């Protein structure tokens, strides 16, 4: 016990005796405060103003007795320890006091026991008060946890349920306690429910299942249970079940299941009572059977081939007999070649251990089996390649063995090839019948597994297990067999050792049985005892059929049949009371081999010694029977009323005396003679028996008293709790002469206490496992209880918390809030619920708190309890949702979200303004009913179907407002998919584009007008240039100067090349770029028509890979090509000379590449391309600069000009 102050109230009229009690208790480690009263009035007055921790009372007091004082105390404080301490108290008075509730008593002349008794009772009282407090605290938690919880004992009865469980089932707490869990199950599911329960009891662990709970009002309620077993060696096993209502989830699952059509698997059910098979359409199609769900049992079986019929029948029979599920591959019996391989599975349903129906599936696996046949065989071999593998042909000859098999046998491959099954490995001890049985299995082409004793090449004996399976070799079209070999030599040797150990064990069992029979002998006379004993000796020896025995005691001899002295004899002598000798002899009637002691083994020597010891004890007991009976009579007289018995151990005579009450408690006959060894055997094996043995040994060897509560097993198998109080009697030398033990049946009290403790522990376990923080504070704010979650939040231990206020543990602000809420609950005596923010070591956390009054708790007083659930994460999510909502409300576009059914779940401020519906009006409405116009609702349904399929949609859409007005909106719709791939919502963003569409029409009209105007401009420019060119050509007819005539003709061609550009532009829809390839072809044709070739044969090669070109670059490039072609035609070729001109124009990386080349004579040596001053050359150089082109020219022997310039994207009227 801890050094704690205890208040001791002494009820005593003699102040000297009270002082002696005080001085005796001062010797204890504990600290005591004493109060003394000597009258009934003083006793009542003291109890009205204070509660002591323990009361010690005299028995005889002026005007009242200690039992009167006990009644006064028990009326006020039922559980406080109360000890009687008197100068003399008779045994009958002591028994009566204990029966009325006195915890213990001691005599004033033996106050040495008082300190031990006080310490023990205070410890028990503290433990009891602590357990009561925890029980009340955890009980409040149990009902406030929010879970449906039930506790079930090992017999399947509800022992405790919380409020949520009663609401779920519709039964009251009183109706449920004692009810079987099977009463809440469907009648058809009782067997299944029992199987689940038994599995939890036998295997333990955690088990989760779904089932239909039958409520009190017979309404179906589908639930999900999480069940676990709690094992406790003190209280036994019990079950905790956490139950969740999943009716809504079950309904949705049933809808989904109903929408599936059994895929491609046919279902069937065999009703054994009616011999009818029920199956769905897929099974009927599979077997070409007519429509209808009900068939005779044999109708379906006849659709299988002969072998498959037998397989199926055997599977059905085994399933019916043993309750086993099966899984087989069968073959149909169709007449044509299209036979099917069919996979069949079956699961039996049993009621009270009897199979009443079998249900399962059929599936066509013809193609699957064909594809997987070879794979399965290869996989079987591959998975066990560490073992030996043998392949046999259809003649049962070895075709192939792997290296592992050769290594295991010591032979080479050539030794095996062509040998028959078992020929090479058989030896003298090999079982020939097993070999023949294996060969028979080969011939029947059936798989088999057998064990064989074989001989390796070195002559070593080994045990092999061969697993043989037939397979068909498609290549050679022959039946073959594959065998898998495993070396099981070690296992067989272990089995042999176990068999030898079993034989040895059986011998020991015979010896122990003999000893047990001897020790179990009873009787009232020595003659009967020894007469029975001599007949029990022979069965305990190795060879009982040739064993005889003799027992001599005093002048009497007891012998078994056929006893005679032989050379093979085992003897022992022992002395009994009064110097009488006991002699036991065991003889073998035939000669036997010499062992440890002649033909006898050492275990038999020990056996005869133990038998002699047991018989000596029994003889001594019988010789002291009269004295023993007298003492029993005295003990029994005191034990009849209170079921308190007494037993004594006389160590001088080593005799045990039992009172009749002790015999009644142990449930033995009145003439039963106990001994010390028997006393220990009655105690439950394990810790109880060890504790009792140690207590008696310490009393005998060290003079220590004991007081223990232990379990015994009565002769009828009943387990009882008993209390044993032992006092040794020591002589002046410190040797124990006598041990007296009070023995009481306390089973009812103990089991009540255990049940209470079990309930407390169960509720305490739930309290510590819950994720909510739980606490209890007294009126002053001191913590009386906190669970593991509370301690984890503040990172404090029990030692740091219990007895401390919040101000001593956490920050002052939070502590003041705790104090304010405690006061509110205590003042109003009503529960409160609120959200609070608490500062913890991991930061500010939000909690949803339920506080409630606890009422008066013994030792604590009025107090408050609380349960707080962490909602920090939820609050953070709510804040994010609020922020996102504010953010979406600030967006200028309407944002709308719906669930997968089309019901609106979000409607922002812009949506209110755009459509005219308020958020309150829109939420919960179907989106199809309020936003699309009447004309576009069919399209809206199609769009929503695409969204449900996971597709997005964007486009213009006609919508309507609340007032019925219709407008055009730009709409973006997207599906919202969660992390599991399921559609959870649809979100849409829309904006009014009426004004934008009107502006687009205005812009389109303006552009059309400008295009018409620009086309007219190009047309007029082209016409004006054509007029200028025509005027020049008319003027040529009046000019005789040939040189001047050529100059004008060139100018006309130049003007015409420009005019062609404008002609192509006004004919085109694009006024920025011209079709350049067409332009070049027309330009070359025009030049050829305008220039006289003077008997020159010139070929024009044009390769233009340029579909269009900006007008600002097309005009200068056209003018340049006009000059180059004209110059080549006039000056590059001599008369009658064949010439060739090549023009190559391409585009690459935003650059225009131009190559112009003729194969004429080139320039004279004294003329340079860059130094020529003619108009044509000047024009070419000017145009190259205008295009900002890089060029390279070759003029010797031919003319070649290469240049490139960057393509510009500017419009037709921009400047270069």
pLDDT tens per residue, range 901-934: 999 988 988 888 889 999 889 999 999 888 898 8
What's the pTM value of the predicted model, to 2 decimals?
Answer: 0.31
162, 167, 168, 174 alpha-carbon torsion, rounded to 10°: 60
Question: Which range (260-264, 302-306, 353-357, 610-614) has the least confidence?
Answer: 260-264
Average pLDDT for the chain? 80
Q: By residue range, what is the domain housing residue 426?
A: 369-487
Q: For 135-157, what is each residue's pLDDT tens digit?
A: 555 555 555 555 688 888 888 89
Which H or E run includes 713? strand 706-713
The Cα 273–Cα 355 span in angstroms is: 10
Task: Identify any residues that bridge with 836 across adjacent strands, giving them in sequence order.
Answer: 847
If asked whether residues 1176 and 1048 sit together in one domain, one would say yes
Identify the DSSP state of 947.
H
Q: With 60 as the cut, is the pLDDT of residue 764 above it? A: yes
Q: For 857-899, what is each residue's pLDDT tens digit?
A: 766 678 898 988 888 777 776 677 666 667 667 777 889 999 9
| Final residue belonging to a domain, choices 621, 645, 679 | 621
Q: With 80 as the cut, is the pLDDT of residue 351 above it? A: no
Pick from 1029, 1080, 1035, 1074: nearest CA to 1056: 1029
> What is the count of structural domains for the chain?
9
Q: For 25-48, what is each residue's pLDDT tens digit?
A: 888 878 888 999 999 999 999 998
CB atoms within 10 A of CB 1057: 25
DSSP H helices in 581-624: 602-623
The Cα 1104–Cα 1204 span in angstroms is: 14
Whether the CB-CB separation of 961 and 915 falls below 8 Å is answered with yes
If asked whether residues 640 and 744 sit together in one domain, one would say yes
Rg (CA), the chain: 56
The answer to whether residue 791 is domain-embedded is: yes
Burial 499-526 (b: 16+ CB within 10 A, else e): eeeeeeeebeebbeebbebbbebebeeb
The Cα 649–Cα 730 span in angstroms is: 13
CATH of the domain at 800: 3.30.450.20
The shares of helix, strand and coil residues in the chain, as percent rounded to the nearest 5, are 45, 30, 25
In terms of average pLDDT, the best of 722-736, 1081-1095, 1130-1144 is 722-736
State both tokens at 707.
Answer: 């007081």
The Cα 523–Cα 846 span in angstroms is: 79
The Cα 955–Cα 980 span in angstroms is: 29
Burial 130-145 (b: 16+ CB within 10 A, else e): ebbbbbbbbbbbbbbb
CATH of the domain at 1045: 3.30.565.10
If asked whether residues 399 and 469 sit together in one domain, one would say yes
CA-to-CA dists, residue 587 to 43, 637, 989, angstroms: 78, 49, 109
CATH of the domain at 548: 3.30.1140
Distant-in-sequence, close-in-space partners of 459: CB < 8 Å, separation ≥ 6: none
| pLDDT at residue 375 in the model | 42
Task: Identify any residues that bridge with 1191 across adjacent strands, giving them in sequence order.
Answer: 1203
If asked whether residues 525 and 614 sit together in one domain, one would say yes
If asked whether residues 399 and 465 sit together in one domain, one would say yes
Higher pLDDT: 8 or 637? It is 8
The answer to whether residue 498 is domain-embedded is: no
If asked whether residues 129 and 236 sit together in one domain, one would say no
The answer to whether residue 801 is domain-embedded is: yes
The answer to whether residue 1021 is domain-embedded is: no
If asked whether residues 114 and 184 sit together in one domain, one would say no
| pLDDT at residue 293 in the model | 47
Can you say whether residue 1097 is alpha, beta or left, with left for phi > 0 and alpha for psi between -120 and 50 degrees? Answer: beta
1119, 1121, 1122, 1128 alpha-carbon torsion, rounded to 10°: 150
Across 330-347, average pLDDT: 77
The Cα 453–Cα 15 span in angstroms is: 94
- CB-count burial class (<10 Å; 0-12, 13-18, 19+) for 858: middle
| pLDDT at residue 586 in the model | 92
The Cα 437–Cα 1155 span in angstroms is: 98
DSSP H helices in 745-787: 747-769
The answer to whether residue 493 is domain-embedded is: no
If asked whether residues 9 and 123 sit together in one domain, one would say yes
Across 499-503, average pLDDT: 77
3-state secondary structure 799-840: HHHCCCCHHHCCCHHHHHHHHHHHHHHHHHCCCEEEEEEEEE
Question: Which range (167-171, 526-530, 1045-1049) has the least confidence?
Answer: 1045-1049
The Cα 149–Cα 167 span in angstroms is: 11
CA-to-CA dists, residue 342 to 320, 334, 470, angstroms: 21, 12, 20
If asked whether residues 1059 and 1128 sit together in one domain, one would say yes
If asked whether residues 106 and 19 sit together in one domain, one would say yes
| Final residue belonging to a domain, choices 840, 870, 900 | 870
Identify the DSSP state of 667.
T
In degrees, rounded to 5, the angle at the alpha carbon of residue 13 between the alpha carbons of residues 8 and 19 is 50
| Final residue belonging to a domain, choices 708, 725, 752 | 752
CB atoms within 10 A of CB 980: 6
The Cα 937–Cα 606 span in angstroms is: 103
Pick from 869, 877, 913, 874: nearest CA to 892: 913
CATH of the domain at 29: 3.40.50.2300
If asked whether residues 840 and 932 sit together in one domain, one would say no
The answer to whether residue 343 is domain-embedded is: yes
Handedness of CA 209, 212, 215, 220 (dihedral sign): positive
Which H or E run includes 479? strand 478-487
State both tokens at 118.
Answer: 């006080």
Length of the chain: 1216
Q: With 50 as the cut, is the pLDDT of residue 475 above it? A: no
If asked whether residues 920 and 864 sit together in one domain, one would say no
The answer to whether residue 1030 is domain-embedded is: no
CA-to-CA dists, residue 744 to 492, 558, 659, angstroms: 55, 42, 11
Q: With 80 as the cut, is the pLDDT of residue 346 above it? A: yes
The Cα 279–Cα 269 span in angstroms is: 6
The Cα 1167–Cα 985 span in angstroms is: 83
The answer to whether residue 734 is domain-embedded is: yes
């Amino acid at each position: 016990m801890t050094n704690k102050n205890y208040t001791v109230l002494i009820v005593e009229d003699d102040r000297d005796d009270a002082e002696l009690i005080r001085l005796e208790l001062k010797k204890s480690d504990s600290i005591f405060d004493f109060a003394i009263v000597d009258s009934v009035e003083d006793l009542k007055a003291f109890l009205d103003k204070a509660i002591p921790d323990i009361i010690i009372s005299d028995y005889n007091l002026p005007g009242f007795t200690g039992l009167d004082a006990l009644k006064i105390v028990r009326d006020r404080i039922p559980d406080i320890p109360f000890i009687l301490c008197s100068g003399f108290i008779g045994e009958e008075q002591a028994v009566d006091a204990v029966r009325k509730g006195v915890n213990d008593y001691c005599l004033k002349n033996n106050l040495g026991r008082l300190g031990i008794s006080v310490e023990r009772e205070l410890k028990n009282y503290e433990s009891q008060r602590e357990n009561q407090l925890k029980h009340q605290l955890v009980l409040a938690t149990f009902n406030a946890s929010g879970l449906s919880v039930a506790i079930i004992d090992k017999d399947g009865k509800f022992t405790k349920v919380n409020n949520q469980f009663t609401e779920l089932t519709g039964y009251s707490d009183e109706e449920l306690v004692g009810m079987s869990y099977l009463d809440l199950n469907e009648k058809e599911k009782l067997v299944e429910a029992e199987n689940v329960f038994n599995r939890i009891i036998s295997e333990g662990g955690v088990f989760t299942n779904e089932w239909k709970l039958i409520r009190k009002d017979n309404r179906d309620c589908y639930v999900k249970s999480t069940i676990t077993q709690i094992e406790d060696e003190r209280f036994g096993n019990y079950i905790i079940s956490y139950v969740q209502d999943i009716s809504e989830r079950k309904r949705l699952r049933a809808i989904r299941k109903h929408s599936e059509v059994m895929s491609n698997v046919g279902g069937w059910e065999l009703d054994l009572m009616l011999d009818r098979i029920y199956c769905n359409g897929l099974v009927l199609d599979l077997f070409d059977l007519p429509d209808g769900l009900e068939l005779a049992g044999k109708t379906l079986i006849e659709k299988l081939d002969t072998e498959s019929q037998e397989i199926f029948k055997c599977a059905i029979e085994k399933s019916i007999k043993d309750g086993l599920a099966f899984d087989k591959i069968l073959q149909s019996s169709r007449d044509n070649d299209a036979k099917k391989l069919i996979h069949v599975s079956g699961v039996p349903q049993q009621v009270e251990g009897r199979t009443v129906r079998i249900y399962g599936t059929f599936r066509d696996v013809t193609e699957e089996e064909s594809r997987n046949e070879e794979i399965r065989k290869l996989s079987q071999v591959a998975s066990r390649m560490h073992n030996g593998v043998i392949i046999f042909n259809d003649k049962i000859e070895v075709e192939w063995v792997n290296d592992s098999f050769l290594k295991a046998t010591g032979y080479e491959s050539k030794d095996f090839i062509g040998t028959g099954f078992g020929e090479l490995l058989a030896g003298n001890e090999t079982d020939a019948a097993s070999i023949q049985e294996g060969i028979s299995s080969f011939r029947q082409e059936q798989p088999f597994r057998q064990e064989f004793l074989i001989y390796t090449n070195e002559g070593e004996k080994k045990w092999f297990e061969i697993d043989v399976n037939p397979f068909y070799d498609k290549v050679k079209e022959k039946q073959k067999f594959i065998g898998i070999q495993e070396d099981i030599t070690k296992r067989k040797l272990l089995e042999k050792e176990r068999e030898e150990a079993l034989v040895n064990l059986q011998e020991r069992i015979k010896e122990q049985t003999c000893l047990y029979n001897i020790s179990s002998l009873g009787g009232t006379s020595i003659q009967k005892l020894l007469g029975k004993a001599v007949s029990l000796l022979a069965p305990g020896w190795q060879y009982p059929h040739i064993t005889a025995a003799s027992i001599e005691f005093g002048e009497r001899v007891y012998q078994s049949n056929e006893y005679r002295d032989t050379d093979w004899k085992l003897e022992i002598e022992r002395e009994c009371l009064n110097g009488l000798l006991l002699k036991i002899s065991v003889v073998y009637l035939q000669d036997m081999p010499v062992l440890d002691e002649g033909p006898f083994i050492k275990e038999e020597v020990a056996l005869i010694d133990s038998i002699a010891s047991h018989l000596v004890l029994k003889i001594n007991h019988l010789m002291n029977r009269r004295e023993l009976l007298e003492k029993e009579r005295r003990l029994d007289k005191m034990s009849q009323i209170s079921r308190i018995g007494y037993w004594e151990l006389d160590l001088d005579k080593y005799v045990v005396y039992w009172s009749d009450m002790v015999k009644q408690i142990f449930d033995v006959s009145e003439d039963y003679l106990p001994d010390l060894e028997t006393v220990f055997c009655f105690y439950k094996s394990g810790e109880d028996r060890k504790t009792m043995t140690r207590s008696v040994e310490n009393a005998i060897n060290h003079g220590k008293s004991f007081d223990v509560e232990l379990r015994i097993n009565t002769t009828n198998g009943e387990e009882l709790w008993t209390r044993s109080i032992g006092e040794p009697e020591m002589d002046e030398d410190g040797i124990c002469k006598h041990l007296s033990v009070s023995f009481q049946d306390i089973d009812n009290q103990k089991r009540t206490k255990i049940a209470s403790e079990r309930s407390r522990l169960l509720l305490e376990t739930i309290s510590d496992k819950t994720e909510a923080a739980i606490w209890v504070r007294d009126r002053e704010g001191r913590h009386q209880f906190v669970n593991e979650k509370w301690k984890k939040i503040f990172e404090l231990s029990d030692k740091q918390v219990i007895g401390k206020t919040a101000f001593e543990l956490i920050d002052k602000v939070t502590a003041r809030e705790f104090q304010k809420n405690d006061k509110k609950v205590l003042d109003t005596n009503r529960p409160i619920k609120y959200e609070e923010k608490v500062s913890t070591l991991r930061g500010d956390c939000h909690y949803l708190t339920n506080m409630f009054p606890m009422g008066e708790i013994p030792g604590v007083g009025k107090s408050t309890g609380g349960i707080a659930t962490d909602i920090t994460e939820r609050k953070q999510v709510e804040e994010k949702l609020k922020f996102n909502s504010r953010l979406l409300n600030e967006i200028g576009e309407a944002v709308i979200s719906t669930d997968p059914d089309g019901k609106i779940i979000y409607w922002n401020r812009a949506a209110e303004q755009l459509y005219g519906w308020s958020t309150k009006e829109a939420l919960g409405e179907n989106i199809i009913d309020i936003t699309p116009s009447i004309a576009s609702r069919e399209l809206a349904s199609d769009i929503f179907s695409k969204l449900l399929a996971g597709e997005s949609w964007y486009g213009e859409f006609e919508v309507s407002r609340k007032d019925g007005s219709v407008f055009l909106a730009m709409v973006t719709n997207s599906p919202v998919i969660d992390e599991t791939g399921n559609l959870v919502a649809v979100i849409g963003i829309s904006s009014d584009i009426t004004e934008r569409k009107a502006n687009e029409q205005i812009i389109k009209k303006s552009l059309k007008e400008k295009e018409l105007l620009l086309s007219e401009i190009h047309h007029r420019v082209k016409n004006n240039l054509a007029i200028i060119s025509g005027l020049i050509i008319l003027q040529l007819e009046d000019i005789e100067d040939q040189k001047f005539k050529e100059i004008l003709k060139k100018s006309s061609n130049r003007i015409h090349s420009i005019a062609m550009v404008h002609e192509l532009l006004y004919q085109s829809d694009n006024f920025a770029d011209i079709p350049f390839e067409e332009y070049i072809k027309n330009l070359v044709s025009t030049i050829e028509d305008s220039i006289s070739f003077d008997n020159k044969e010139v070929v024009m090669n044009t390769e233009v890979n340029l579909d269009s070109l900006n007008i600002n670059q097309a005009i200068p490039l056209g003018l340049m090509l006009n000059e180059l072609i004209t110059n080549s035609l006039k000056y590059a070729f001599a008369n009658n000379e064949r010439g060739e001109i090549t023009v190559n124009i391409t585009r690459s990386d935003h650059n225009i590449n131009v190559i112009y080349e003729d194969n004429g004579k080139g320039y004279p040596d004294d003329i340079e391309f860059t130094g020529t001053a003619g108009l044509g050359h000047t024009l070419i150089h000017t145009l190259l600069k205008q295009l900002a082109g890089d060029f390279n020219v070759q003029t010797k022997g031919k003319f070649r000009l290469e240049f490139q310039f960057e393509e510009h994207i500017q419009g037709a009227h921009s400047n270069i």
